C-alpha cells in the first residue's frame, strides 16, 4: 500500500473515530457536566409531608429537557427530568421549553447575539440538518420529539394544548396509573426569525407559552442579560398582541426590566414569570423586584420560583420556600408557583423525583395545606386554563 493511501485511510479512520465519539458519549458527557445534582444533604421528609405530597396536583412551569438527547420515556442516570421521575415526584403537568440559541461564554450580565452554543449541540446530537441552520426548525423538532415520545409512552405521557386537554388529564389522574401532562413553551422568540408568520407554525405544533427573550437582545425586546437591555420593539408589541389573541401565554422570564414594565402595562391577559427568583431573597439581576411581582399579580398571573443557586441564592429547598413565602406575603398565595429550570444547565439539590423536598420546606415555613396545594400547582393550572383560550377584542 502506498504512503499516500495509508495517510488517506488514516484520515478516514480518524474521522470515523471522531464521529463515533460525537455520536456516542460526547453529548451525554456534556450534559452530565451541565445538569447537576450537587449531592448536598437533603432535608428529612416527614410522614405528614409525604402523605400531603401524594395528594397534590403539581405543575412545574419550566424545564429544558427537550434540548438534550434523551428519551423522556426512559429513566436517565443524569439530568433532572424524565417520565419515570415525573411519576415518582407526583408531577401532574410539566411545561417543556424549547431552547434554540444560547451565547458562548454565557453570563447573567451582558451577552451579544453573535455566537451560539446550541448549533454545536444540534450537530453533535445528530439532529436533522434542517435544525442546524434554522431556529424555527429547532423548536419544531422539539415539538416533534415530544409528539413521538408521548406516542411511545402508551398514554403515560400526554401532550396538552388547551383547557379541555388539561381537564381530561386531571380527570385521568384520579385513576391508576396516573398520566403526566406536557405543555410546550419557547425560551426566547428569536426562533420566529423575524417573521410573524412563524408564530402560526409554532402554535400549530402545539406551543402555548413563550418568553420574548433569553440571554441576549433580539428583534422583539431587550434581555436582562443583553448588551443594551432595552424595551419592546414594535415587532415585540405585535407579537405580544398576537400571542394573547391566539391563547399563548406571555412569559417575562429573562426580559429586561424595561421590557417587563412594558409587557405588564399592555397585558390584557395573565402574564407569568416561568422560572426565576425574587430580589427580596436573592438579589440577582434576573430576579423580580417587588414592583414587578405586584405587576404580575395585577394581571392575574403567577411567579414560578426556581431551584438553582442564581434564582434563590442556594440550592436548598428551604431557600425555594423562602422565596415562595415572600411572594405570598407580598401579593397573596394565588400568585405563587413552581418553575424549576430543571435540565437548563443548572445545579440543583434534587431532581423532579424528589419534589417532596419542597412540600416539606413549605410546611416548615408555616404554609397551610391549602396554600401548599395552590402554590405547588393549582395556581398554575388556573392561569393555564384561562390563558390558553383564544380571545378577540381588547377586554382583559
For 285-294, the pLDDT digits (tens) are: 999 999 999 9
Q: What is the full DSSP assignment across 132-150?
A: HH-HHHHHHHHHHHHHHHH
For 81-132, the pLDDT digits (tens) are: 999 999 999 999 999 999 999 999 999 999 999 999 999 999 999 999 999 9
For residue 24, what pLDDT band results from cuts at 50, 70 and 90? low
For 287-317, the pLDDT digits (tens) are: 999 999 999 999 999 999 999 999 999 999 9
CATH architecture entry for 35-387: Alpha-Beta Barrel (3.20)
**pLDDT given for residue 303 in this prediction:** 98
Question: Is residue 393 predicted with pLDDT exceeding 60?
Answer: no
Domain ranges of the chain: 35-387
The beta-strand segments (E) located in 291-388 are 303-305, 336-338, 347-348
Instruction: State pTM to two decimals.
Output: 0.93
Q: Are 173 and 90 in contact (CB under 8 A)?
A: no
Q: In whole angstroms, what is the distance from residue 92 CA to residue 220 CA? A: 32
Is 53 in a helix, a strand, or coil?
A: helix
For 196-237, the pLDDT digits (tens) are: 999 999 999 999 999 999 999 999 999 999 999 999 999 999
Q: Answer positive or negative: Cα dihedral of 236, 237, 239, 244.
A: positive
For 323-334, the pLDDT digits (tens) are: 999 999 999 999
Question: Is residue 148 predicted with pLDDT exceeding 60?
Answer: yes
The whole-number average pLDDT for the span 10-21 is 45
**pLDDT given for residue 30 in this prediction:** 85
Amino acid at each position: 500500500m502506498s504512503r499516500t493511501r495509508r495517510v488517506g485511510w488514516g484520515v478516514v479512520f480518524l474521522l470515523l473515530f471522531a464521529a463515533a465519539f460525537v455520536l456516542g458519549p460526547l453529548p451525554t458527557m456534556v450534559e452530565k457536566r451541565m445538569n447537576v445534582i450537587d449531592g448536598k444533604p437533603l432535608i428529612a421528609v416527614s410522614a405528614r409531608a409525604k402523605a400531603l405530597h401524594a395528594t397534590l396536583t403539581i405543575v412545574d412551569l419550566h424545564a429544558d429537557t427537550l434540548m438534550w438527547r434523551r428519551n423522556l420515556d426512559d429513566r436517565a442516570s443524569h439530568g433532572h427530568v424524565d417520565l419515570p421521575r415525573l411519576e415518582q415526584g407526583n408531577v401532574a403537568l410539566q411545561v417543556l421549553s424549547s431552547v434554540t440559541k444560547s451565547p458562548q461564554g454565557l453570563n447573567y450580565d451582558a451577552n451579544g447575539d453573535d455566537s451560539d452554543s446550541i448549533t454545536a449541540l444540534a450537530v453533535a446530537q445528530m439532529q436533522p440538518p434542517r435544525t442546524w441552520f434554522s431556529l424555527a426548525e429547532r423548536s419544531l423538532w422539539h415539538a416533534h420529539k415530544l409528539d413521538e415520545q408521548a406516542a411511545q409512552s402508551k398514554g403515560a405521557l400526554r401532550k396538552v394544548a388547551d383547557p379541555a386537554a388539561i381537564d381530561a388529564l386531571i380527570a385521568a389522574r384520579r385513576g391508576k396509573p396516573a398520566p403526566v401532562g406536557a405543555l410546550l413553551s419557547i425560551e426566547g422568540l428569536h426562533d420566529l426569525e423575524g417573521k410573524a408568520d412563524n408564530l402560526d407554525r409554532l402554535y400549530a405544533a402545539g406551543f402555548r407559552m413563550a418568553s420574548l427573550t433569553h440571554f441576549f437582545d433580539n428583534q422583539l425586546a431587550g434581555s436582562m442579560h443583553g448588551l443594551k437591555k432595552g424595551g419592546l420593539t414594535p415587532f415585540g408589541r405585535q407579537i405580544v398582541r398576537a400571542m394573547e389573541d391566539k391563547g399563548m401565554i406571555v412569559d417575562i422570564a429573562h426580559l429586561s426590566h424595561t421590557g417587563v414594565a412594558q409587557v405588564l402595562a399592555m397585558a390584557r391577559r395573565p402574564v407569568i414569570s416561568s422560572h426565576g427568583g425574587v430580589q427580596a431573597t436573592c438579589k440577582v439581576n434576573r430576579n423580580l423586584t417587588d414592583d414587578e411581582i405586584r405587576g404580575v399579580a395585577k394581571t392575574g398571573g403567577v411567579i414560578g420560583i426556581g431551584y438553582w443557586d442564581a434564582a434563590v441564592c442556594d440550592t436548598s429547598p428551604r431557600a425555594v420556600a423562602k422565596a415562595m413565602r415572600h411572594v405570598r406575603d407580598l401579593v397573596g398565595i394565588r400568585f405563587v408557583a413552581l418553575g424549576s429550570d430543571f435540565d437548563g444547565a443548572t445545579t440543583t439539590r434534587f431532581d423532579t423525583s424528589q419534589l417532596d423536598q419542597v412540600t416539606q420546606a413549605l410546611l416548615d415555613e408555616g404554609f397551610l395545606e391549602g396554600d401548599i396545594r395552590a402554590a405547588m400547582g393549582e395556581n398554575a393550572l388556573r392561569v393555564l386554563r384561562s390563558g390558553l383560550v383564544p380571545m378577540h377584542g381588547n377586554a382583559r
